[in-house]
């Protein structure tokens, strides 16, 4: 069997660049903790030079994570590389990831550099990074649309000057599995010193082939795959981590390779990321979709009941999805609640457990029983609500099919209660108008509003997700309650608080 395939997770960098997928510091830390339990090899925590907020989150992750390499992206400039190193320098295993474009169209129109200038910059900046950090990854942006002969020169130059990992990005999702396999084989045969480096690929999904291209690279000799949880990312997204890992795990006979990932952590990590970005998994999503292990056809049902392997090539338990036998409710004790939190993959302090337990008990007063999905929603919504500028005090609404909605809104700001009243086309519009009158924040536009039930039954929790655009950034706000108007109010306040907390966030790096 080949050496283990390294899983380089870029959910917190490339994944977070997708519109509406931005995360605050607390959310990023929780995702990083789940990725560490998942046992990915590398966590790319962000792009340090992009903003003070990105730098802070990378530094916090680097200080906390012990069982994964922590990386920061950097362009091939001294300023970028300095920022990347300062952000990851306290990591147990730091990595600087620097990149430059190598395709004719990028060099001419975006970089405005000649091939000779790109080679000179590569040599100088990889050497500069290598003096600061023992591990340096070099990426040739838009590699799959680059001249293979030039790629051979660029990668050889990077390795000669200290690169320990060379990355072949399919930046715009252009290539095919056969072409990717041929390119990796060519690089392995002709790049000087490549036998002493890790060969990585980073594939985008514009033509729906990111996973196939990544796996084709593995069969050709790549030893690292860059991917994101649920495949989130710019445009059509990235290669999905869960699909890469489960393909390697399920088809060991074909790939003759494996990863160190603990597959039983896949489902809860996927669930967390979907929850934080405010998106539900498509029912037919591979591995983690609600229909991935469902069988409606009579023929399929008969087969699965007779022998699961007739229609299931992997088990629900292999990704951490199993039937919950322990029902939590109003009579459940703190110990059982704390144990369930741990089982779901969250590490909370005693104080945090106590706070969540109080909220759990309040929830039990309105629900017959509380599911795992309810508990995950409770925790992730609390993470999102930390360090809030504005908090809900109370609200009163009047609505009718014959009159405009009216809302009296009361918020807490700087330990003072502020109140106002507004009209609207229904109770939620009125509530949002009242909040807008109270809140001092940058100009914003509500771009999307959605509501779904977290679990089943008429007493189910309702989770509202809003997308609010401010400047060039779209923020996700989430609210949770058995009262859907309260959920709506909490979601809008949460989104506004994120705008205020991340007002210093600058433009993100382009994807590679």
Q: What is the mean pLDDT of the chain?
A: 89
Q: Which of 107, 102, 35 is nearest to 71 (CA)?
A: 35
Domain regions of the chain by residue span:
6-277, 386-501
Residues in the chain: 512
Residues 6+ apart with CB under 8 A from 54: 46, 47, 48, 505, 506
Write down the CATH number for the domain with range 386-501: 3.30.160.270
Q: Which DSSP string do the residues of 250-319 spell out, in sequence order? A: HTHHHH-------GGGHHHHHHHHHHHHT-PPPTT-TTTSTTTT---SHHHHHHHHH-GGGT-SS-GGGG
Q: Is 308's pLDDT higher than 80?
A: no
Q: Which of 324, 376, 495 is nearest to 30 (CA)?
A: 376
Report whether 489 contacts 431 (CB < 8 A): yes
Q: List the alpha helices (DSSP H) in 2-133.
A: 25-38, 52-64, 78-88, 104-105, 115-132
Q: What percent of the chain is modeled with pLDDT above 70?
A: 90
Report how far residue 253's alpha carbon sits from residue 241's, in angstroms, rounded to the nearest whole number.
20
Write down the CATH number for the domain with range 6-277: 3.20.20.70
Q: Is 500's pLDDT higher than 60?
A: yes
Higher pLDDT, 334 or 230: 230
Average pLDDT over residues 47-55: 93
pLDDT digits (tens, 9 = 90+) for 369-393: 677 777 877 777 766 665 578 999 9
Report whether 380 contacts 486 (CB < 8 A): no
Report whether 58 contacts 48 (CB < 8 A): yes
Q: Which of 5, 428, 393 is nearest to 214 (CA)?
A: 5
Point out which residues pair with 99 in neighbouring strands.
75, 139
**Is the pTM higher than 0.75?**
yes
How far from each other are the two terminal CA atoms of the chain, in whole angstroms? 30
pLDDT digits (tens, 9 = 90+) for 87-113: 999 999 999 999 999 999 999 999 999
């Amino acid at each position: 069997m080949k050496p283990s395939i390294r899983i380089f997770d870029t959910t917190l960098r490339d994944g977070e660049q997708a519109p509406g997928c931005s995360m605050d510091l607390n959310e990023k830390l929780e995702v990083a903790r789940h990725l560490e339990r998942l046992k990915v090899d590398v966590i790319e925590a962000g792009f340090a030079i992009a903003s003070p907020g990105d730098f802070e989150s990378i530094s916090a992750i680097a200080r906390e994570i012990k069982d994964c390499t922590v990386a920061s992206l950097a362009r091939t400039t001294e300023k970028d590389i300095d920022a990347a190193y300062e952000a990851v320098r306290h990591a147990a295993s730091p990595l600087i990831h620097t990149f430059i474009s190598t395709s004719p169209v990028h060099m001419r129109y975006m970089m405005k550099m000649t091939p000779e200038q790109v080679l000179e910059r590569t040599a100088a900046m990889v050497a500069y990074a290598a003096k600061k950090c023992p591990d340096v990854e070099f990426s040739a942006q838009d590699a799959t649309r680059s001249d293979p002969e030039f790629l051979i020169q660029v990668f050889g130059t990077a390795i000669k000057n200290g690169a320990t990992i060379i990355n072949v990005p399919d930046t715009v999702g252009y290539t095919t599995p056969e072409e990717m396999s041929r390119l990796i084989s060519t690089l392995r045969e002709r790049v000087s010193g490549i036998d002493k480096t890790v060969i990585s690929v980073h594939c985008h999904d514009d033509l729906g082939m990111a996973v196939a291209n990544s796996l084709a690279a593995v069969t050709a000799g790549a030893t690292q795959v860059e991917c994101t949880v649920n495949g989130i990312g710019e445009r059509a997204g990235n290669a999905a981590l869960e699909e890469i890992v489960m393909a390697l795990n399920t088809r060991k006979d074909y790939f003759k390779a494996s990863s160190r990932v603990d597959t039983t952590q896949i489902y809860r990590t996927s669930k967390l990321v979907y929850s934080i970005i405010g998106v539900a998994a498509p029912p037919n999503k591979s591995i983690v979709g609600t229909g991935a292990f469902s069988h409606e056809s009579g023929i399929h049902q008969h087969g699965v009941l007779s022998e699961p392997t007739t229609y299931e090539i992997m088990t629900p338990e292999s990704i951490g999805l199993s039937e919950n036998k322990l029902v939590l409710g109003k009579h459940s004790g703190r110990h059982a609640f704390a144990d369930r939190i741990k089982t779901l993959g969250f590490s909370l302090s005693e104080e945090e457990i106590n706070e969540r337990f109080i909220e759990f008990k309040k929830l039990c007063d309105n629900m017959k029983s509380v599911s795992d999905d309810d508990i995950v929603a409770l925790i992730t919504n609390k993470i999102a609500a930390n360090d809030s500028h504005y908090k809900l005090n109370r609200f009163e609404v009047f609505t009718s099919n014959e009159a405009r909605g009216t809302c009296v809104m009361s918020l807490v700001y700087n330990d003072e209660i502020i109140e106002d009243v507004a009209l609207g086309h229904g109770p939620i519009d009125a509530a949002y108008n009242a909040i807008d009158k109270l809140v001092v924040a940058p100009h914003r536009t509500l771009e999307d509003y959605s509501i779904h039930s977290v679990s089943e039954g008429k007493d189910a929790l309702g989770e509202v997700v809003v997308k609010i655009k401010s400047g060039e950034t779209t923020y996700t706000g989430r609210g949770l309650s058995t009262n859907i108007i309260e959920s709506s109010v909490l979601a809008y306040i949460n989104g506004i608080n994120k705008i205020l907390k991340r007002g210093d966030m600058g433009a993100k790096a382009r994807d590679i």
